[in-house]
Amino acid sequence: LSPPQGNPSFDEDGIIECPANYFAPVLPSSLNITKDNTQWNDAWLKDEYVFESLDPKDVSCADKFWAEACTENYCDEEHESTEKAGVMMS
């Protein structure tokens, strides 16, 4: 689903990555991924990923669908920020 380098967001000219590196990567606003309409990976935890209005609470980076396919950049940044917060709080 996402290219090997992740799925970065760019401005309308395709030049500047946005938002800047101090913002969380953009999540899709909706999603309709089922076994019938995409290349399926049996390591994904659910039978379908259908969201009319996707919310960050819906994303589980423990699921390979989110972590490695759909929202790889988002999950990478979530992991990094969690690690930084843990270090600061300890």
Q: Please give the average pLDDT of every successive group of 10 residues along the chain, which has 90 residues.
A: 58 60 74 86 91 93 91 85 82
- What is the longest distance spanned by two Cα atoms in the chain? 46
* Res 60: pLDDT: 94
Question: By CB neighbour count within 10 A (0-12 exposed, 13-18 middle, 19+ buried), where does 75 fall?
Answer: buried
- pTM of the predicted structure, to 2 decimals: 0.67
* Res 82: pLDDT: 80
Which pLDDT tens digit goes with each residue over 35-56?
888 788 889 999 999 999 999 9
* Res 6: pLDDT: 59
Q: How far apart are CA 46 and CA 83, in angstroms?
A: 27
